[in-house]
């Protein structure tokens, strides 16, 4: 499908909201354990989704018959990605985390080639290169030699696993297993579909948060700021971003959508600069041009 302005806007919103999620996640590190943060985030999201998608629960048999598909979606998209990201932010630097997340198009192409027989074309590889170069400009603040001084720690490995999980989640959204395609999908709207994913994801999130509490007990420091942060991560990066991402991935495919995810560190840099009172510099604009070029080059294959 052609990358229309509407689809482009849908795919621009998630990285903007996820950039805010990374900043908020970093700020609340001293106040709440990372797995508990993810659990509370999705519990609040569930409360928001229930009035919109409760009809999916009227026929539980339809949900249970599809558990082999819904459980991996919930595990990868709800239960794993942000849990691992929040954990990574406790031990890794924002530079390293964003650099690893910027490898998303590469993992999307690799997963597509290995599991879906979608071999990348030259334009997709060129788009990945342009996009990664744009992100590298932001991360190095215009000095690419600074990337050679990056040192990786345990949190970086967690973020690498998180990126792989998100790649698998996106491909599952776009290409359900053949058994699921053969059977007519229930008349679920976006809210119903995200609701059932959230239920499965909360099962895994609850288990991991319980283990976290037993192994590394930490008291939650409740405050108005923490409640506001929880409200943001539940509404913006969860309900709104997942809705837009699902529509965008379905429309243009995971490989093209992955290039939009590379805008997350650009938006994160701009938001951080705004909070610090700093104006964007030349490399922010250059990075945006390179990432946009990567999106355009890659999407031309989908349009043709």
Q: Read off the pLDDT of residues 180-229 as tens digits, 9 standing for 90 and up.
A: 655 666 778 888 999 999 999 999 999 999 999 998 878 899 999 999 99
pTM: 0.80
How many Cα atoms sit within 13 Å of 53 on the Cβ side? 24
Rounded CA separation 209/154 (Å):
20
3-class DSSP state of 187? coil
Handedness of CA 83, 86, 87, 88 (dihedral sign): positive
Q: Which residue has the higher pLDDT, 276 or 8?
A: 8
- Report, as an integer, the average pLDDT of 48-66: 91
Rounded CA separation 159/68 (Å):
26
pLDDT digits (tens, 9 = 90+) for 66-93: 899 999 999 999 999 989 999 998 887 6
Rg of the chain over CA atoms, in angstroms?
A: 19
Alpha helices in 216-281, H assignment, sequence order? 224-234, 241-252, 254-261, 263-276
pLDDT grade, residue 303 (50/70/90)? very low
Answer yes or no: are the C-beta atoms of 94 and 29 closer than 8 Å. Answer: no
Q: Flag the least confident range among 82-96, 266-280, 286-300.
A: 266-280
- Average pLDDT of the chain to the nearest whole number: 83
Tell the residue number behind the tokens 């809210």, with chain if given: 191
């Amino acid at each position: 499908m052609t990358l229309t302005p509407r689809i482009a806007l849908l795919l621009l919103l998630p990285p903007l909201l996820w950039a805010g999620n990374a900043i908020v996640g970093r700020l609340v590190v001293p106040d709440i354990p990372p797995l508990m943060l993810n659990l509370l985030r999705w519990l609040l999201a569930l409360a928001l989704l229930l009035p919109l998608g409760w009809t999916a629960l009227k026929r539980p048999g339809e949900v249970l018959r599809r558990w082999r598909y819904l459980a991996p979606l919930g595990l990868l998209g709800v239960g794993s990605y942000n849990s691992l990201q929040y954990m990574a932010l406790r031990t890794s630097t924002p530079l390293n985390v964003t650099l690893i997340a910027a490898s998303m198009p590469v993992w999307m192409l690799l997963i597509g080639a290995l599991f879906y027989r979608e071999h990348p074309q030259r334009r997709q590889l060129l788009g990945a290169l342009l996009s990664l170069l744009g992100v590298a400009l932001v991360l190095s603040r215009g000095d690419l030699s600074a990337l050679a001084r990056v040192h990786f720690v345990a949190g970086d490995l967690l973020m690498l696993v998180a990126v792989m999980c998100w790649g698998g989640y996106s491909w599952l959204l776009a290409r359900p297993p053949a058994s699921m395609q053969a059977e007519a999908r229930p008349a679920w709207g976006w809210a119903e579909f995200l609701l059932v994913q959230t239920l499965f994801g909360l099962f895994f999130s609850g288990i991991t948060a319980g283990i976290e509490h037993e192994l590394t007990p930490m008291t939650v420091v409740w405050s108005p700021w923490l409640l506001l942060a929880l409200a943001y991560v539940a509404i913006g990066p969860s309900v709104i971003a997942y809705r837009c991402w699902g529509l965008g991935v379905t429309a243009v495919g995971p490989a093209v959508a992955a290039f939009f995810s590379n805008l997350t560190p650009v938006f994160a840099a701009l938001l951080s600069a705004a909070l610090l009172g700093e104006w964007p510099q030349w490399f922010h604009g250059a990075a945006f041009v390179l990432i946009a070029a990567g999106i355009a080059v890659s999407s031309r294959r989908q349009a043709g």
